[in-house]
Copies of this chain bind each other. A is one copy, B any other.
Amino acid sequence: MEPVETPNKVLKEFNSLFYPKSVAIVGASKNKIGGSKFWLALQYTGFEEIGGRTYLINPKLSELFGRKVYSSLLDKEIPKPIDLVIIAVPAKLVPEIVMQCDKIVKFGVIFTSGFGEADNISLENDLKNAINSVSTRFIGPNGLGIINPYSRLAIYPDWGVFKGNVSYISQSGGTLARLYLNLGPLGIGFHNCVSIGNSYDISINEVLDYFYHDKLTKIIALYMESNPNARKFMQLAQKITPIKPIVLWKGGQTKRGISATQSHTGGLAGRYDVWKAMCKQSGILLADHFELFIDLIQVASTRPVTPKNLNVAILVAGGGIGVEFADKFESAGFSIVDLQNETKDKLSEIFPPINTNLKNPLDLGELSYDPRLFSQAMEIVLKDEGVGSVVFVREAERFDIISKMIGIEDAQQMTIDSLSKIIRNSPKPVICNSSMNIDNEKGYHQRHEFQVKMIEAGMPVVNYLGNIPKILKQFYYFGKFLKNRKK
């Protein structure tokens, strides 16, 4: 257990939730996708190996997975207080278990669903009354709880342990899983992920405030459908974003989407255009779909640089791809700006006029995969005063061929090393596009490996071209927010 000792009131208040020393699972059974999966997940991460204690609870069993099963939380053999209880029993039994927690349990995660979101209003009221009458504080119901690679909290066996500085709050368990499993393998790790469910007790705003104070958290990601205290949320966000970027995917953008949020988490999403405006005013990076959400988090955690304007320089190898990029960026409201004469002169010293085109979008030809040439081009273009950001393509499968052609050992590594030096010294956003050109395992492996190494070197790689103008626009708004704040 890596202790988080701090005098901060907010951090102290939630310490046993995020860094519990004991976890009891009420409703553990032979069914491995019920409550038991939490216990299996804790075995997988090694929660007990670092001193954590676990207790399985089920009145109908005496033994499970070779461990003693207790009949109830109240069993005297279980040392009190228990830091965290995971409740995975049928909905109608939940209020009773909640009552049992009083005084002896610090925090609970209610995994069970089937309350307000399933139109079970009387059970919802019973549960809310129970929660209000006890000392214990609760996540959920209809929530998966917490992943914390540092305290070894986990919700699913086999998901991998990805330490890092992104903290995540999600009103959807499915989205939490997708996010964790998409970003983790890219080398983007987490401090805390919270599947908050219907939040009858602990609110998104409270967890957000905890992440604000938490020193390990550098980026906050949030999938949110509704927030009963949106005003408080925006006040918090305005305080947080100048220090830690917040990336928000707002679910419930349309009439039918909003009505679907109601049966999902029981909340009612507000009008999306209002949310969009509020996000701009609060410096929140806003995504409207999953892939953009994870791309924004990737960029925020790799190189969160804001562009001064929407003038973009495009560096590719190939005429067709230049047309594609120009179409995509111009139709998204960017200017594919004319480069300064000095820039063009310098580039033409390096790139011969055959099979190249030095008018933005720059087609630098196949030879530009030579990292010695490409890094020079990048340096020259980044220095052009009219350019606000740079977007470029590297197709991972080309590096092998170019290495042989120009007789160097590893053109990919040389590209990454030389680019990272140049980009690090520039105040401008630079985003690489690397789609998978060969849809087979080799193609996947090459692209993925390149992306992981680029991210490690501080350079974001976005696979889906259409998302890049959207990302740059969000960072452009973010830059304007930061600037207005200073005035």
Tell me whether A289 and B354 are in contact (CB under 8 A).
no
Tell me whether B440 and A185 are in contact (CB under 8 A).
yes
Tell me whether A324 and B251 are in contact (CB under 8 A).
yes
**Listed stretches A93-101, A228-236, A355-363, A424-432; interface member:** A355-363
Task: Identify which of residues 298-336 in chain A touch chain B, using a CB-to-CB cut-off of 8 Å.
Answer: 318-324, 326-331, 336
**Listed stretches A49-57, A173-181, A410-418; interface member:** A173-181
Q: Contacts A326-B254, A330-B255, A441-B441 given; indicate if A263 touches B181 (C-beta within 8 A).
A: no
**Listed residue (A257, A357, A405, A444) with the most chain B CB atoms within 10 angstroms of its CB:** A257
Q: Chain A interface residue count: which class?
A: 35 or more
Q: Contacts A324-B251, A326-B256 given; indicate if A319 touches B117 (C-beta within 8 A).
A: yes
Tell me whether A174 and B318 are in contact (CB under 8 A).
yes
Q: Contacts A289-B328, A289-B465, A444-B441 given; indicate if A257 touches B174 (C-beta within 8 A).
A: no
Tell me whether B320 and A174 are in contact (CB under 8 A).
yes
Task: Find chain B residues with CB under 8 A from A167 CB.
Answer: none
Q: A182 contacts the other chain (Cβ, under 8 Å)?
A: yes
**Listed residue (A33, A265, A401, A439) with the most chain B CB atoms within 10 angstroms of its CB:** A439
Q: A171 contacts the other chain (Cβ, under 8 Å)?
A: yes
Cα A327 to Cα B448 in complex, Å, equals 29
Tell me whether B186 and A320 are in contact (CB under 8 A).
no
Q: A118 contacts the other chain (Cβ, under 8 Å)?
A: yes
Please, which residue of chain B has its CB at the minimum distance from the CB of A91? Answer: B354
Task: Find chain B residues with CB under 8 A from A185 CB.
Answer: 438-440, 443
Tell me whether B33 and A251 are in contact (CB under 8 A).
no
Task: Identify which of residues 345-370 in chain A touch chain B, using a CB-to-CB cut-off of 8 Å.
Answer: 353-355, 357, 359-361, 363, 366
Tell me whether B254 and A330 are in contact (CB under 8 A).
yes
Task: Find chain B residues with CB under 8 A from A256 CB.
Answer: 326-327, 329-330, 336, 360-361
Contact partner of A443 among B174, B181, B255, CB < 8 A? B181
Interface readout for A247-283 with B: 1 if CB under 8 Å, 0 if not? 0000111111101110111000000000000000000
Q: A456 contacts the other chain (Cβ, under 8 Å)?
A: no
Q: How distant is A256 from chain B, measured CB to nearest CB, in Å?
A: 4
Tell me whether B33 and A318 are in contact (CB under 8 A).
no
Tell me whether A181 and B439 are in contact (CB under 8 A).
yes
Tell me whether A438 and B182 are in contact (CB under 8 A).
yes
Tell me whether B114 and A318 are in contact (CB under 8 A).
no
Q: How distant is A442 from chain B, measured CB to nearest CB, in Å?
A: 10
Tell me whether A323 and B251 are in contact (CB under 8 A).
yes
A interface: dominant SS: helix
Tell me whether A437 and B113 are in contact (CB under 8 A).
no
Please, which residue of chain B has its CB at the minimum distance from the CB of A253? Answer: B327
Tell me whether B443 and A401 are in contact (CB under 8 A).
no
Q: A63 contacts the other chain (Cβ, under 8 Å)?
A: no
Contact partner of A327 among B172, B254, B444, CB < 8 A? B254
Contact partner of A320 among B171, B327, B366, CB < 8 A? B171
Contact partner of A363 among B264, B327, B466, CB < 8 A? B264
Q: Contacts A357-B264, A438-B181 given; indicate if A257 touches B319 (C-beta within 8 A).
A: no
Q: A291 contacts the other chain (Cβ, under 8 Å)?
A: yes
Cα A406 to Cα B401 in complex, Å, equals 48
Q: How distant is A82 from chain B, measured CB to nearest CB, in Å?
A: 27
Tell me whether A320 and B175 are in contact (CB under 8 A).
yes
Q: A290 contacts the other chain (Cβ, under 8 Å)?
A: yes
Tell me whether A363 and B263 are in contact (CB under 8 A).
yes
Q: Contacts A178-B437, A320-B171 given; indicate if A401 touches B33 (C-beta within 8 A).
A: yes
Please, which residue of chain B has its CB at the minimum distance from the CB of A336? Answer: B256
Tell me whether A323 and B439 are in contact (CB under 8 A).
no
| A-B residue pairs in contact (CB < 8 Å), sample of 23 | A114-B354, A172-B318, A173-B318, A177-B437, A181-B439, A182-B436, A185-B439, A185-B443, A186-B439, A251-B320, A254-B330, A257-B326, A259-B326, A259-B359, A260-B319, A263-B359, A264-B319, A264-B322, A289-B328, A289-B465, A440-B448, A441-B441, A441-B444
